[in-house]
């Protein structure tokens, strides 16, 4: 019976987003470009891991599911757009975590 004082159950054992991540993220500020079927956009990599990265675009863009991140000095990486909020974008790399770690030579744990 609901009497107005009932509270929603909270699962205190539910892991936070950071705990659910498979790979540790490292905060960076790397200039890059993001290629897609919609065009090429300058961006900044805000954080990176063996599994993916968080980017900021100069302005909001609608990105397709498949993109390519071009990072001078590190290489070109095919990825999937996982989420997007205005100009902030989360991508997941298509390459294996080991290949990403090799490409970033110690930058990512």
19-69 pLDDT, tens digit each: 445 667 888 999 999 999 999 999 999 999 999 999 999 899 899 999 999
Band (4; pLDDT cuts 50, 70, 90):
very low
Pick the closest to residue 49 from 90, 87, 2, 4 (CA basis). 90
Sketch out the chain's domains with CATH numbers.
22-103 (2.40.10.220)
Alpha-carbon distances, residue 70 vs 22, 34, 40, 81, 105 (angstroms): 23, 6, 10, 15, 16
């Amino acid at each position: 019976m609901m009497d107005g004082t009932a509270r929603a159950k909270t699962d205190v054992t539910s892991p936070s987003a950071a705990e659910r991540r498979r790979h540790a993220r490292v905060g960076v500020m790397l200039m890059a470009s993001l290629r897609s079927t919609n065009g090429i956009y300058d961006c900044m990599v805000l954080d990176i891991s063996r599994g993916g990265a968080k980017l900021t675009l100069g302005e909001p863009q609608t990105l397709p599911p498949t993109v390519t991140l071009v990072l001078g000095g590190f290489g070109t990486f095919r990825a999937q757009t996982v989420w997007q909020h205005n100009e902030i974008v989360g991508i997941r790399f298509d390459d294996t975590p080991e290949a990403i770690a090799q490409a970033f030579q110690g930058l990512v744990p």
